[in-house]
A and B are shown apart, each in its own frame.
Chain A
Amino acid sequence: MFKHGLILCLFCLGFGLLLAVTDEITVDNIAARAIEDKQNSLSQVLPDELHDNNPVTDTLTLANAEGRELTVYRARKNGLVTGVAYEIFGTGYAGEIKLMMGIAADGKLLGVRVLAHKETPGLGDKIEAKKGPWIERFTGLSLGNPPLERWKVKKDGGDFDQFAGATITPRGVMAAIRGGLEFFAENKSTLTKGD
């Protein structure tokens, strides 16, 4: 009995050590990759010409209306905040849709990109920039353009197309973007103050 326990224990110790070593070797690389990923998704919603700083490291933490802590990435030129980007969350057909939204200091949308979703392939996944132009439609719009009550899919009386066979997905994305715009409106002074 004791012998078996000891053998199992030694194997756990040995492989535990192996995992610790592997983690030690890879940890820096993985952290660097995570920053690159963040940079890639940020560069799609914060155009290069808007900033001379690195938005990945210029952050601010703020709670949204639901009390969720958001990391806000700031784009600056000559020290002045020209735009901010943060994650927004929508409820889709199959769970949460995570998006990154970039917004200029004047409240105009710089761009929205989907970071992660579990929507149906072929139907709901047209919200991805590589699967269709739908998500580009929002660039340049703001909270008053179109008016707030028209920030919905056409089926709900708004201005934006839904997809054939998938209304819940774009509806969830729309709600997330509207929420993101309202978040900006409420916190505009904090977000654009610059420190």
Chain B
Amino acid sequence: MKRVTKSAALLLLAAGLAGCSGNNDEAATSATSASSAAATPAVSSPAAETAEAHLDLDQTSYTLKQWKNDGSHTVTTKGKLLLGDQPVANAVIHVGDSLHDIVTGEDGSFEILVDQSLLSQVPVHVVSLDKATVGGQPVAKDAADQLMSASSYLNVYYPIQTTKAEASAQDPNQVEVHGKVVSNPGDVISFFQIDKYRIGGIVKDANGNPVKDAVVWIDRDEGEGFAKSTPTDAAGRYYMYYLPEDDEGTNLTVTTDDGKNRYTLPEGRVFYIPDHTSVDINITLPKDGNVIVDKPPTLEAVTSPGAMYTGILVGLNVPSDVSYSVTIPDKEGNFALTVPKDVWDRNPTFFETKMTKFVENRTLTWGDTLESSFLEPGANDPKTIEAKPADA
């Protein structure tokens, strides 16, 4: 196992790699060889006068394994926190944004329960040494500084295979790459598709001025179920998202002043929201009382374009000023990428994200092409996935 020293960790950061320490290769297409290579020169660097901090994980890269009845999608990974060869006991470690305190044992060891069913790339790092000891002694300041900067990463992702890469017929400076998001046999990956529609609109006061920080609620007339909008912005605009549904009366409520004022439809009146489309509901609040007059212009609804999409997308981990295009993977996970040749020649890594996005101006389906500017990987999405040739 390769240990990542402090200086190596800095190198990794400098290289912009969300690096992974020791990488046992169950996830065959792991992204970590680059980071291991980056670590190599650091080992011979002259910085290592004093004992160095190591945060080691038995395994840092996991193939996304879909949720299984037997719980096999959760797996325990073991780790160790060391200062030189000495274990660091009672240090507190966090995984990513989780505030769960993981405390190292007397031998510096700790365990993390990894949910392998969700895409992730999260740092594992020391957050507190207040009660930590090395050889029974409190941790000295220099060592503490080292330990606090020791980190590793946990990665969960679908492996990516490339099946073909050839010069574009249209533009010899571009390469067309054909690839595939690989899942375990029998697994179905939910790629980017329509998930729900949008209710939006504008809330105005009786004088026609937009109302800021109003909240629009809708709830079923006959049963549970409700949705709450974003607070209206300075223009009075609000949004919420809902699932398509058949005819059913909906109660409409607008609250202002932190819920202190509530405006409703007249007694006994409900709103029918059209299904399979987004809609704008524009509401003008009454001058007196709290009943919304339920006819235009004080209550008007018009269908509007767009839908909320959600699902898995892939892209290249390249600077944002590099333009490329990629298709939404099809049912089998096949996708095509068109990328400048010089970029592809530098062997960029891939990212995967479960993206949710409102698309207003067109209807998308599997196989459609997206520009790279469309893609927005999240902070905790895996971004250092090395694609492997399909025949490798």
Q: Do A and B bind each other?
A: no
